[in-house]
Structure 1
Amino acid sequence: MSVDSSSLGPSLRLSSRMAGVRSSAIRDLLTFTARPEVISLAGGLPAVELVPRGRIAQAARRALGDPHSVQYGETSGWAPLRETVASRESEAVGRRVAPAEVVVTHGSQQALSLLAQVLLDPGDTVVVEEPGYTGALQVFRAAQAAVVPVALDANGMDTAVLEQALREGLRPKVVHTVSNFHNPRGVVLSAQRREHLASLADRYGFWIIEDDPYGELWFDAPPPAPVATHSDRVLRLSSGSKTVAPALRIGWLHGDRRVCEAVELLKQGADLCGSSLTQRIATELLDDRTWLDSHLAAIRGAYSARSHALVGALESVFGERISHTPVFGGMFCWIEFADGCDATSLLARAIEHDVAYVPGGAFGVADAHSHAARLCFATYGGEVLVEGVNRLRQAYDAHIRTPWSVTGH
Structure 2
Amino acid sequence: DNVYIGADLRGVLEILIAVLCLKDAMVVVESPCDWMILRLLQDADVQVIELPLQANGGLDLEQLKQLLETKPVRLVMLSSGLNMPRGSVASHSNRQSTAELLERHGSWVLENDCYGELAFEPDGLRFRDLLNPDRLIVFSTFEKSIGPEAPYGYLLSRQLSVELQRHFLLRSFRLSPIRQKAIARLYSNGRIDQHLLVLRRLLKDRKVHMTQLLQERLGDALHFVEPLGGATIWVQSLRQVDVRRVFQRLLRHQVVIAPGELFSLQGLHAQHLRLSHTFGGDHDLGAAMGLLGDALRLESID
Q: TM-score, normalised by structure 2?
A: 0.90
* Residue in 1 that maps onto 2:27: 126
Indicate conservation of the 8 Å contact 1:337/1:372, yes or no.
yes
Alignment counterpart, residue 239 of structure 1, candidates 113, 138, 141? 141
CA contact (8 A) 1:215 1:223 kept: no
| Structure 1 segment 148-159 matched on structure 2, within 5 A | 148-153=49-54, 154-159=56-61
Cα distance 1:192–1:171, how it changes in 2: closer, same or farther (>3 A)?
A: farther
Which range moves more in the overlay, 331-340 or 367-376? 367-376
CA distance in structure 1 between the partners assigned to 2:90 and 2:14 by the alignment? 23
- SS of residue paired to 1:246: coil
Contact between 2:17 and 2:23, CA under 8 Å: does it hold in 1?
Answer: no
Q: CA deviation at 1:238?
A: 2.0
Gaps of 5+ in 1: 1-99, 404-409
Sort the Cα spacing of 1:368 and 1:202 in 2 relative to 1 into closer, same or farther, 3 A.
closer
> SS at the partner of 1:132?
coil
Contact 1:156 1:190 in 2 (8 A): yes
AA aligned opposite 2:50: P
2:244 pairs with 337, 344, 359, which one? 344
Inter-partner Cα distance in structure 1 for 2:94 and 2:165: 31
Larger radius of gyration: 1
Code of the residue aligned with 1:321 in structure 2: it is A
Structure 1 residues 189 and 106, CA gap change in structure 2 (3 angstroms): farther
The number of equivalent residue pairs is: 297
Structure whose residues are more often strand by fraction: 2
Quick one: distance in 2 between partners of 1:397 and 1:149?
A: 30
Q: Is the 8 A contact 1:346 1:399 kept in 2?
A: yes
**Aligned twin of 2:208:** 308
Aligned with 2:273: secondary structure?
strand
- Measured on the aligned residues, the alpha-carbon RMSD in Å equals 2.1
User: Match for residue 386 of structure 1?
Assistant: 286
Partner Cα distance (1:260, 1:110) in 2: 17
Aligned to 2:113: 212
Structure 1 residues 157 and 372, CA, compared in 2 at 3 Å: closer, same or farther? same
Percent identity at matched positions? 25
Write the distance in 2 (CA, Å) between the matches of 1:264 and 1:173. 22
Gaps of 5+ in 2: none
1:263 aligns with 2:164: yes
Q: Are residue 196 (structure 1) and residue 97 (structure 2) matched?
A: yes
Question: Is residue 107 of structure 1 aligned with residue 8 of structure 2?
Answer: yes
- Check whether the contact 1:116–1:139 (CA below 8 A) recurs between aligned residues: no
Closer/same/farther in 2, CA of residues 246 and 379 from structure 1, 3 Å limit: farther
The answer to whether 1:144 aligns with 2:45 is: yes
1:161 to 63, 82, 101: 63
SS in 2 for 1:175: strand
Query: Structure 1 residues 350 and 380 mapped into 2: Cα distance closer, same or farther (>3 Å)?
Result: closer
Match of 1:251 among 153, 156, 174: 153
Aligned partner of 1:236: which letter? V
**Residue type at the aligned position of 1:360:** G
> Which deviations, in whole Å up to 9, do the C-alpha atoms of 1:196-218 show, x marking residues without a partner?
33333332232111111111112
Amino acid across the alignment from 2:285: L
Residues 349 and 399 in structure 1, CA contact (< 8 A), matched pair in contact too: no
Matched-pair contact (CA < 8 Å) for 1:353–1:392: no
